[in-house]
């Protein structure tokens, strides 16, 4: 069963940024890009560093250490050296406009 945890309002997160949260015992990286909100495990599968410190792209998040870019939809690394997918979590946005509430489902 999915547990939904509110993490903030839409206008708390600028487009092109990532933020780390601890939710239900999981390290989660919430990302807002030009396609909306995404949530993935906040640990690169190559070196276990925080992905929230990486670079947000239109399609993924790029690890700051060695540059693997992970899909925000599937979690699969699109570029080496990482070869293992990261976990992808659900995100919902309830309400209208900048004050809509963003929640992550674990």
* Site for ligand FES contains 56 (CB under 6 A): no
* Site for ligand FES contains 81 (CB under 6 A): yes
Selection from 59, 18, 12, 14 nearest residue 35 by Cα: 59
Structure tokens at 50: 């925080």
Distance of CA 82 to the CA centre of its chain: 17
In angstroms, the CA 65 to CA 70 distance is 13
Min dist CB 54 to ligand FES, Å, is: 8
Task: Single out the residue of 23, 33, 40, 46 in contact with ligand FES (rule: CB under 6 A).
Answer: 46
Min dist CB 53 to ligand FES, Å, is: 10
CA-to-CA dists, residue 29 to 37, 96, 97, angstroms: 11, 23, 22
Distance of CA 106 to the CA centre of its chain: 12
Task: Single out the residue of 10, 49, 85, 101 in contact with ligand FES (rule: CB under 6 A).
Answer: 49
Selection from 79, 75, 56 nearest residue 66 by Cα: 79
CB nearer to ligand FES: give 20 or 100: 20
Task: Single out the residue of 6, 36, 47, 95 in contact with ligand FES (rule: CB under 6 A).
Answer: 47
> Footprint of ligand FES on this chain (CB under 6 A)?
44, 46-47, 49, 63, 65-66, 68, 81-82
């Amino acid at each position: 069963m999915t547990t939904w945890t509110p993490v903030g309002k839409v206008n708390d997160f600028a487009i092109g940024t990532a933020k780390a949260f601890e939710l239900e015992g999981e390290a989660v990286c919430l990302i807002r890009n030009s396609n909306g909100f995404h949530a993935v495990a906040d640990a690169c599968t190559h070196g276990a560093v925080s992905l929230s410190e990486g670079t947000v792209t239109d399609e993924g998040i790029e690890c700051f250490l060695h540059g693997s870019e992970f899909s925000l939809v599937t979690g699969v690394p699109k570029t080496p050296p990482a070869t293992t997918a990261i976990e992808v979590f659900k995100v919902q946005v309830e309400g209208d406009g900048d004050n809509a509430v963003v929640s992550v489902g674990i």
